[in-house]
Amino acid sequence: MACPPDEQRAKRDMVQGDGVSGRRGAAREIVVAGGGLPGLALALALRQALGEAVRVTVCDPAFARRDAPEGGSAPRDLRAYAVAAAARRMLERLGVWDAVRAGAQPITEMVITDSRLADPVRPTFLTFEGEVAEGEPFAHMVEGGGLLRALRDAADAAGVVLEASPVLAAVPETDAIVARLPDGRRIRADLVVAADGARSRLREAAGIGWVGWSYPQSGIVATVAHERDHEGRAIEHFLPSGPFAVLPLPPGGPLGHRSSIVWTERQSEVPALLGGGPDEALIEVERRFGLALGRLALESPLRAYPLSFGIARRFGARRLLLLGDAAHVIHPIAGQGLNLGLRSAAALAEALADTMRLGLDPGGPEALETYERSRRFDTLAMGAATDGLNRLFSTDALPVRLARDLGLGLVDRLPGLKRLFIREAAGLRGRQPRLMRGEAL
């Protein structure tokens, strides 16, 4: 839970007479603007690695909403995430996996179909067995709210200061950067990490360019109850308007079993789909979900997110580094956006910890260069792959359909290639940051 302002100040133990806090003594001061999953993971990793040698404050106005009692008017994030094996290893290392393990559903198999909405059957083109090692699934489905709570509680326990407030501006000075809060307080820090989402105010204010585009699609998410067990199977139906993913959740709900759906739909169709009543919404979900898992019921309303692709031209400026969606946004077709953000958090924690251990300034050019070098290619490659997949599968043109179905069929017959894809989806290909190898920072 975010602690009250007085307690936070005591925890930071450094308020000075002029209302500017921070940077007393030898400890380094880092402000993270944005308490989403990547921002909190970075803050926790730094405190665990460096203890009192670094003071970390995470500012996010949403901490106030998340403290609201259940049933309050706070909008709930309905997203459930496919947490890849590499990200799970990092969460284990950070000591938060135990808090979400019971509610995490292993994905044991992936099934891919390619058809039109009106087709009476959806033939399976490709299946993947879901393990990267004996007993280790390539991904788990985890509900976003529970994971966020677990990370926030662990960060709080590790001495991270949680401020229920936005950062209005981050103003660099010669040897510091000052984070301005709406109540007039200013936190003087060595470094500000902007983890404030895709429309990052701090990125814009720092003049960091953004290359990207909006898709004419939205991602509709909801939790669906069903009668039959999904047996851990994740299904991706490629439909002409975009992929319709059925992702397994742990048992429960009114019909005994549950799945999360991520439904990519043409933006022009979304107002009508969301504007109808729950019965109409259920009919539309049933048309896409199919009846293989028996009777369906909607456990949550449908919620739509606009979809885009984008990458910052640089991952930092003077004493400011970008993290998570503030640095890169990708299409959710492969469920990799958060995994990419956590990988960046692991790489940034490593760059900052190494820099500070050498006695160097975390706001200096060394950390930025290491971070930029370790993340740019991986991020671009994942962005291009998800963009390409979306373009390839969100079309009904017959020659494209024939070619891609042939491709899917071929991959299905090549176990070596399938193993490669699964390792990629698990985040285990290429060089891993230490935390994702399950090692200490």
Ligand X SMILES: Cc1cc2nc3c(=O)[nH]c(=O)nc-3n(C[C@H](O)[C@H](O)[C@H](O)COP(=O)(O)OP(=O)(O)OC[C@H]3O[C@@H](n4cnc5c(N)ncnc54)[C@H](O)[C@@H]3O)c2cc1C
Of 253, 217, 270, the residue nearest 386 (C-alpha): 217
Using the minimum distance from each CB to ligand X, give the nearer residue, 57 or 355: 57
**C-alpha pair distances (Å), 131 with each of 174, 182, 438:** 51, 48, 17
Residue nearest to ligand X (CB): 36
Size of the site for ligand X (CB under 6 A): 33
* List 14, 27, 30, 33, residue binding ligand X (CB under 6 A): 33
The residue within the footprint of ligand X, chosen from 28, 47, 79, 203 (CB under 6 A), is 79
Among 78, 90, 104, 167, contact with ligand X (rule: CB under 6 A):
167
Applying CB under 6 A, which of residues 103, 248, 337, 427 lies at the interface with ligand X?
337
Question: Minimal distance in Å, beta carbon 195 to ligand X?
Answer: 5
Q: Using the rule CB under 6 A, give the single segment among 33-41, 128-136, 149-157, 397-405 that binds ligand X.
A: 33-41
Does position 81 interact with ligand X (CB under 6 A)? The reply is yes
Q: Is 248 a residue that touches ligand X (CB under 6 A)?
A: no
Shortest Cβ distance from residue 98 to ligand X (Å)? 20
**Minimum CB distance to ligand X, residue 38 (Å):** 5
Question: Could you say which of 21, 217, 336, 374 contacts ligand X (CB under 6 A)?
Answer: 336
54 binds ligand X (CB under 6 A): no
Closest CB to ligand X among 24 and 65? 65
Instruction: Pick the binder of ligand X from 99, 159, 305, 318 (CB under 6 A).
Output: 305
Options 262, 302, 317, 347; binder of ligand X; rule CB under 6 A = 262
Query: Does residue 243 touch ligand X according to CB under 6 A?
Result: no
Q: Kindly indicate which of the ranges 19-27, 77-85, 125-133, 352-360 contains the residues binding ligand X, using the contact rule CB under 6 A.
A: 77-85
Q: Closest distance between ligand X and the C-beta of residue 91, in Å?
A: 12
Contact set for ligand X, span 374-433 (CB under 6 A):
none
Tokens of 438: 């399950």
CB-nearer residue toward ligand X: 242 or 362: 242
**H, E, C per residue of the chain:** CCCCHHHHHHHHCCECCCCEECCCCCCEEEEEECCCHHHHHHHHHHHHHHHHHEEEEEECCHHHHHCCCCCCCCCCCCCEEEEEHHHHHHHHHCCCHHHHHCCCEECCEEEEEECCCCCCCCCEEEEEECEEECCEECEEEEEHHHHHHHHHHHHHHCCCEEECCCCCEEEECCCCEEEECCCCCEEEECEEEECCCCCCHHHHHCCCCEEEEEEEEEEEEEEEEECCCCCCEEEEEEECCEEEEEEEECCCCCCCEEEEEEEEEEHHHHHHHHHCCHHHHHHHHHHHHCCCCCCEEECCCCEEEEEEEEEECCCEECCEEECHHHCEECCHHHCCHHHHHHHHHHHHHHHHHHHHHCCCCCCCHHHHHHHHHHHHHHHHHHHHHHHHHHHHHCCCCHHHHHHHHHHHHHHHCCHHHHHHHHHHHCCCCCCCCHHHHCCCC
| Subset of residues 168 to 197 that bind ligand X, contact rule: CB under 6 A | 195-197
Pick the binder of ligand X from 12, 21, 27, 35 (CB under 6 A): 35
Q: What is the number of alpha carbons within 13 Å of residue 416 lying toward its C-beta?
A: 0
Q: How far is the CB of 201 from ligand X (least distance, A)?
A: 5
Question: Which is closer to ligand X, CB of 36 or CB of 433?
Answer: 36
Residue 38 or 363 having the CB closest to ligand X: 38
Q: Residue from 23, 31, 36, 192 that binds ligand X (CB under 6 A)? A: 36
Q: Which is nearer to ligand X, 169 or 360 (CB)?
A: 169
How far apart are alpha carbons 189 and 28 in whole angstroms?
A: 8
Q: Which residues here bind ligand X, judged by CB under 6 A?
A: 33-39, 59-62, 79, 81-82, 166-167, 195-197, 201, 219, 221, 262, 305, 324-325, 332, 335-339, 341
